[in-house]
Amino acid sequence: MLFYVILLLRERGSFCKRRQRHTGGEHPDYCDVQRMTRNELRNHTLLLENAETRHFKSPVRDVTFGLKPMDVLGLVGERSGKTSINKVIVSDINLSSGRVLVKGIDVHSRKINRYKAYKYMGYCPQTDCFESKFTGRENLKIFCLIRGIRAYKVREVSEELAENLNFREHLDKSSGKYTVSDRRKLSTAIAVIGTPPLIILDEPTAGVERAHRSDVLDVLKSVNECGSTILLSSNNIEDFQSLCNRMALLNRGKVIGIGSVESFRNSLKPGLILMVKVRPHAIVQSVRNVRFQPSEQEIVSNITTFLLHAFQTVYLLEKVQGDLLYYINNTTIPLAEAFKIIEQNRHELFISDFHLKHENIELTFVTQNFRILK
């Protein structure tokens, strides 16, 4: 009896010391990998435990999260290390510390483990993963055979994927002559062949026509319903809203929050987004009583001072070659009234054009990123 109790305690991890969490903040989806049993590790399709790499361009900093079968996690953040995390999972970038487990296999521990883990992965990188000299049909045939699709089924599988992704008419063309849209569709088709347990997608809809994005998302939904776990990196909020059940907000290679789409929307009070174009030459030419032209730095300073006086809480989010992006954190002034205030003072502030709108969920990521940095 005593031996049984000791064995049970050991299996549940009671003898393991809890590692100190230094992820820069607790969140409810944090996975305590150290306290998981072997069965629990295998039940997770993907686990990252304190993954860290000192990659000189885009480092990964202490990333920990887990995905179970049929989970769909979206990685959010502009130039925040999404691609580096994907490359760490598929071993394109070596880990400095931590672990990556795919179906319980430690990907970075031994080279043979890497090849074992590849059996469970489908990967759509940002760059083309197929041979451009071959036709789309030939590329799909190669990857179908690699995936273990029976030879007599290859043609059927290839044509079904091409039909669902809306590029069947180009299937027998050289893939090097494909448009950007068809290249992304072919890369997505290769990633989902055989519905692998883990599908990693890096910008699958980038460059795809808006009318055809739904085709890509519908294919991803169908493989997810068949049991595949999906890790999606994208800058398109429509992808997250229609596909993901969770999102991870990244900042400089670090996970700073995980939650549902609704949780990100509800966590902030809506404000106003102001996009301003500063073109002093155009204002001087159109308004006769303007006798001098201030510098761009003076114009930005005057606009910011004016907005602070009119709306109290204002953030300058971005400044790129005379294009300014402001966040106005004021819910008491109606949109029409705010528009009137800016329009009446537009010429004095050297604003050639501006656009004012309510904050939506897509811009919420921008403003939330900024507030975290502040």
User: In the prediction, which pLDDT does 27 show?
Assistant: 42
Dist. CA 149–CA 292, nearest whole Å:
72
Average pLDDT over residues 336-353: 86
Dist. CA 198–CA 44, nearest whole Å:
10
**Percent of the chain scoring above 70 in pLDDT:** 78
136 confidence band (pLDDT: 50, 70, 90):
very high
pLDDT tens digits along 219-278: 999 999 999 999 999 877 778 888 998 888 887 888 888 888 777 666 655 678 888 888
- DSSP E strands in 95-221: the ranges are 97-102, 105-106, 121-124, 198-202
User: In the prediction, which pLDDT does 361 show?
Assistant: 56
Q: Return mean pLDDT, the chain.
A: 80
17 confidence band (pLDDT: 50, 70, 90):
very low
Average pLDDT over residues 347-372: 66
Instruction: Note the pTM of the prediction, 2 decimals.
Output: 0.70
Q: Order the strands of the 105-106 sheet from edge to edge.
A: 60-67, 46-53, 97-102, 105-106
Residue 59 Ramachandran class (φ > 0 left, ψ -120 to 50 alpha, else beta): beta
More confident residue, 350 or 75: 75
Dist. CA 49–CA 44, nearest whole Å:
12
Q: Which residues pair with 199 in a beta bridge?
A: 122, 230
List, as own/partner pairs, every contact residues 29-32 make where C-beta atoms lie below 8 angstroms and the sequence separation is at least 24, other chains included.
Answer: 29/65, 29/66, 29/246, 29/258, 29/259, 30/64, 30/65, 31/64, 31/65, 31/66
135 confidence band (pLDDT: 50, 70, 90):
very high
Q: In 253-295, where does DSSP find H-type helix?
A: 261-266, 280-286
Alpha carbon 341 to chain centroid, angstroms: 36
User: In the prediction, which pLDDT does 185 show?
Assistant: 95
Question: Domain residues of the chain, as ranges?
Answer: 272-358
Average pLDDT over residues 148-160: 94
User: In the prediction, which pLDDT does 291 show?
Assistant: 54
What tokens were used for 337?
Answer: 């009234």
pLDDT tens digits along 302-335: 888 888 888 888 888 777 777 888 888 776 788 8
Q: Kindly report the length of the chain.
A: 374
User: In the prediction, which pLDDT does 11 show?
Assistant: 45
Residues ≥6 apart with Cβ < 8 Å to 289 = none
What tokens were used for 75?
Answer: 């990685």
Instruction: Assign 176 to helix, strand or coil.
Output: helix
Dist. CA 168–CA 349, nearest whole Å:
54
pLDDT tens digits along 50-62: 999 886 677 888 8
CATH top-level class for 272-358?
Answer: alpha beta
